[in-house]
């Protein structure tokens, strides 16, 4: 398989694995976040509702108490008694001793004249007949005013109670300390950006809004209409999401509004989101890393297995090819050997006959003798060829036998000497004389030597030298056979690949790219190894290390 295919396979594995692991991860992350969001938002809204209702009840109670305090005073006294300012002051003190909610207390007769007054302002004698609150109070009996400026030129609101006494009607009026009221409302204010205030039916602020206008300014909140209970909604103000809770007060047509900044309230949710995002991103990172790593390991393993199988296959092909070739060679050698034997004997016979004296004296005797010599010489040449062929054809299965490496080398070099001579390549032999005999397989070794020598001849191409050297290393207990050539050498980047099957520098059809890989696996099988040393331009030296006893 090509390396391109491995890359495609790896990408496919990575894609699939990432798809199958990241989609559930994202789904999980999203679900967790969504569920958390829903429940947390619900909780925030519930909190807001609780806060709002609690405040509303507190304010309602506050009004109830104030109204009942004033009513009590009004209904337990006569106008005459309360006209006495000293007495009124005494009463005021008594009321204030329980709660400091009132600023002042005043009595107004039915003409609207302020007949008596206790408080910080000089209001006695002021006539309220034309004031809106006065008329409303006269009409309804109990009245809580909106916040207004009045004669004091300061925002305030009043609670007034009407008492009908015999033919007279008079009003007991108290001003509420706006600070205390405001504080009650502000208690519902949460966080740095939260707000709580009260508006009346005309959307006019009755208390200060933290970020809005002063009291009595128009606030820019949605139109609030009358509705029962509590309303919670999310709206956008000034480009910011705001949670708005609102509820009508019971005693007065005022709307209590609490604004919450969800960003602030949702901080834990945002933290959770960041956490989930972090965990998911970390997971993605690990998964991607792991997947890429795994895919790489897998495809590398596959590539290695493929490469091993290719070597195995090529070995198989090679050995079956060799076996077939061996049989063919043996057959030819045989068929040629018998006629050769006959020729040799016939030539010998002629030589025997030439020895007889009458022929010796013939004038062509020298020619005959010369011809016989030539015939014998060439029969001998042919015999060497057939014997070599038979030697080559010998057993193909690996065996353990005593091998004289030098002799095998000599034999192998013998095969190639003609070819080398033809190309003007000198083969120098530096064979160690007392090289130990090793246990190995001579025919397999021969094949290895043949492959490497052939490569060397191909590398040198023309004009050069090949040195075949044998040596023995007693420390490593190995016999080393070095074949060094004067060829162009092997580029560094190719050194690591020359033993790979199908790696060849020769043109298409010239080399199978199997020679070195087969040699490598043969030597490995024989318990040895092949090393190579080469520098570009300086030739290459292959060394075959074989275990020695």
Partner 1 sequence: MAPPRVLVVDDEEDFLETLVNRLRRRGLEAQGALSGPRALELLENGVFDVAVLDVRMPGMDGIELLKEIKDRWPFLEVIMLTGHGSVESGIQGMRLGAFDYVMKPADLENLLEKIQQAHERKSLRGD
Cα 472 to Cα 466: distance, rounded to the nearest angstrom: 20
**Residue number, 94 or 328, with CB nearest to partner 1:** 328
Q: How many residues bind partner 1 (CB under 8 A)?
A: 24
Distance in Å, CB of 451 to partner 1, minimum: 22
Closer residue to partner 1 in complex, CB, 340/466: 340
Of 209 and 386, nearer to partner 1 (C-beta) is 386
The answer to the question of residue 97 lying near partner 1 (CB under 8 A) is: no
Question: How far apart are alpha carbons 87 and 90 in whole angstroms?
Answer: 5
Radius of gyration of the chain (CA): 58
Site for partner 1 in 374-393 (CB under 8 A): 379, 383, 386-387, 389-391, 393
| Of residues 403, 415, 478, 481, the one with CA closest to residue 443 | 403
Identify which of residues 26 and 349 has a Cβ nearer to partner 1 in the complex.
349
Does residue 349 belong to the site contacting partner 1 (CB under 8 A)? yes
Window contacting partner 1 (CB under 8 A); options: 286-294, 337-345, 508-516, 540-548: 337-345
Contact with partner 1 (CB under 8 A) among 23, 183, 267, 342: 342
386 three-class SS = helix
- 329's tokens: 């060679």
Measure CA 479 to chain center.
53
Say how many CA atoms lie within 13 Å of 249 toward its Cβ.
25
From the list 509, 458, 506, 448, the residue with the least C-alpha distance to 315 is: 448
Candidates 198, 333, 372, 435: give the one binding partner 1 (CB under 8 A). 333
Distance CA(15)–CA(257), nearest Å, equals 54
Residue 284 · residue 22 · CB < 8 Å? yes
CB of 388 to partner 1, least distance (A): 9
Query: Following DSSP, what letter does each residue of 466-511 receive, concatenated?
Result: EEEEEEEETTTTEEEEEEEE-S----HHHHTTTTSTT--SSPTTT-
Locate 318 and state its tokens. 């090679």
Find the shortest distance in angstroms from Cβ 345 to partner 1.
4
Nearer to partner 1, 348 or 488 (CB): 348
CB 392, min distance to partner 1, A? 9
Confirm or reject binding of residue 340 to partner 1 (CB under 8 A): yes
Q: How far is the CB of 356 from partner 1 (least distance, A)?
A: 10
- Which run of H or E residues covers position 72? helix 3-76
Among residues 330, 359, 437, 465, which is the contact residue for partner 1, using CB under 8 A? 330
Taking the least distance from each CB to partner 1, the nearer of 232 and 330 is 330
The three-class DSSP label of residue 200 is coil
**Binds partner 1 (CB under 8 A): choice among 346, 373, 407, 421:** 346
When asked if residue 169 is in the footprint of partner 1 (CB under 8 A), the reply is: no
Q: What is the dihedral of CA 521, 524, 529, 533, to 10 degrees?
A: 10
Q: Is 436 in the site for partner 1 (CB under 8 A)?
A: no
How many whole angstroms separate alpha carbon 512 and alpha carbon 285?
Answer: 45
8 A C-beta contact, residue 23 and residue 287: no
Q: Which is nearer to partner 1, 176 or 389 (CB)?
A: 389
Q: Decide: is 396 part of the binding site for partner 1 (CB under 8 A).
A: no
Nearest to residue 259, comparing CAs of 199, 318, 312? 199
Q: Pattern 352-371, binding to partner 1, x per CB under 8 A? A: x-------------------
Nearer of residues 313 and 345 to partner 1, judged by Cβ: 345
Residue 173's closest CA among 153, 154, 157? 157
Give the range of 128-136, 216-224, 339-347, 467-475 binding partner 1 by CB under 8 A: 339-347
Minimum distance between the CB of residue 343 and partner 1, rounded to whole angstroms? Answer: 8
Q: Nearest approach, Cβ of 395 to partner 1 (angstroms)? A: 9
Which residue in the set 152, 186, 344, 529 belongs to the binding site for partner 1 (CB under 8 A)? 344
Q: Which whole-number Å values give the CA distances from 300 to 7, 436, 485, in the listed order?
A: 10, 41, 34
Sole window of 23-31, 229-237, 298-306, 348-356 interacting with partner 1 (rule: CB under 8 A): 348-356
3-state secondary structure of 402: strand
Region near partner 1 per CB under 8 A, out of 84-92, 110-118, 181-189, 329-337: 329-337
Select 259 or 347, whichever has its Cβ closest to partner 1: 347
What are the tokens at 347?
């030539």
The stretch among 158-166, 207-215, 342-350, 506-514 that binds partner 1 (CB under 8 A) is: 342-350
Task: Among 97, 130, 338, 418, indicate the residue that binds partner 1 (CB under 8 A).
Answer: 338
Nearest in space to 449 (alpha carbons), one of 461, 460, 441: 441
When asked if residue 394 is in the footprint of partner 1 (CB under 8 A), the reply is yes
Judged by DSSP in three states, 355 sits in coil
Measured from the CB of residue 346, what is the shortest distance to partner 1 in angstroms?
A: 6
Within 8 A by CB and 6+ apart from 127, the residues are: 111, 112, 113, 114
Q: Which of 168, 160, 67 is nearest to 105 (CA)?
A: 160
Positions in the binding site for partner 1 (CB under 8 A) = 330, 333-334, 337-338, 340-346, 348-349, 352, 379, 383, 386-387, 389-391, 393-394
């Amino acid at each position: 398989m090509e390396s391109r295919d491995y890359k495609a396979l790896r990408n496919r594995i990575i894609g699939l694995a990432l798809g199958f692991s990241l989609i559930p991860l994202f789904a999980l992350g999203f679900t967790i976040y969504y569920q958390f969001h829903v429940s947390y938002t619900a909780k925030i809204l519930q909190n807001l509702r609780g806060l709002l209702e609690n405040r509303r009840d507190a304010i309602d109670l506050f009004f109830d108490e104030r109204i009942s305090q004033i009513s009590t005073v009004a209904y337990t006294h006569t106008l005459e008694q309360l006209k006495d300012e000293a007495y009124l002051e005494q009463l005021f003190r008594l009321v204030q001793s329980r709660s400091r909610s009132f600023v002042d207390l005043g009595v107004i007769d039915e003409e609207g004249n302020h007949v008596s007054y206790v408080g910080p302002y000089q209001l006695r004698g002021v006539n309220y007949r034309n004031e809106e609150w006065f008329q409303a109070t006269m009409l309804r009996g109990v009245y809580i005013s909106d916040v207004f400026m009045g004669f004091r030129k300061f925002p305030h609101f009043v609670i007034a109670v009407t008492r009908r006494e015999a033919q007279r009607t008079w009003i007991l009026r108290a001003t509420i300390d706006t600070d205390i009221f405001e504080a009650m409302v502000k208690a519902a204010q949460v966080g740095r950006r939260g707000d709580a205030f009260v508006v009346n039916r005309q959307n006019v602020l009755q208390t200060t809004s933290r970020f809005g206008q002063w009291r009595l300014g128009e606030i820019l909140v949605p139109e609030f209409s009358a509705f029962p209970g509590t309303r919670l909604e999310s709206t956008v103000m000034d480009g910011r999401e705001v949670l708005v809770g609102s509820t009508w007060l019971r005693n007065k047509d005022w709307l209590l509004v609490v604004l919450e900044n969800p960003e602030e309230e949702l901080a834990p949710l945002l933290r959770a989101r960041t956490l989930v995002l972090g965990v998911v991103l970390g997971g993605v990172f690990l998964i991607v890393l792991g997947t890429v790593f795994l895919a790489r390991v897998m495809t590398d393993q596959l590539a290695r297995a493929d490469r091993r199988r290719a070597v195995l296959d090529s070995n198989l092909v090679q050995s079956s090819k060799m076996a077939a070739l061996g049989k063919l060679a043996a057959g030819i050698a045989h068929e040629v050997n018998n006629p050769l034997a006959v020729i040799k004997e016939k030539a010998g016979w002629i030589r025997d006959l030439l020895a007889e004296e009458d022929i010796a004296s013939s004038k062509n005797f020298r020619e005959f003798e010369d011809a016989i010599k030539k015939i014998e010489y060439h029969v001998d040449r042919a015999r060497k060829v057939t014997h070599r062929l038979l030697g080559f054809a010998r057993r193909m299965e690996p065996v353990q036998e005593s091998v004289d490496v030098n002799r095998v080398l000599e034999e192998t070099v013998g095969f190639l000497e003609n070819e080398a001579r033809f190309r003007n390549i000198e083969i120098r032999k530096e064979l160690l004389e007392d090289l130990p005999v090793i246990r190995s397989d001579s025919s397999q070794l021969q094949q290895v030597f043949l492959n490497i020598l052939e490569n060397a001849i191909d590398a040198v191409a023309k004009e050069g030298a090949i040195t075949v050297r044998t040596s023995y290393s007693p420390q490593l207990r190995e016999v080393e056979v070095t074949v060094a050539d004067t060829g162009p050498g092997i580029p560094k980047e190719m050194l690591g690949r020359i033993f790979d099957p199908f790696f060849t520098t020769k043109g298409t059809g010239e080399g199978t790219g199997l020679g070195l890989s087969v040699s490598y696996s043969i030597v490995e099988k024989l318990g040895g190894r092949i090393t190579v040393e080469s520098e570009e331009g300086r030739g290459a030296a292959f060394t075959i290390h074989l275990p020695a006893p």
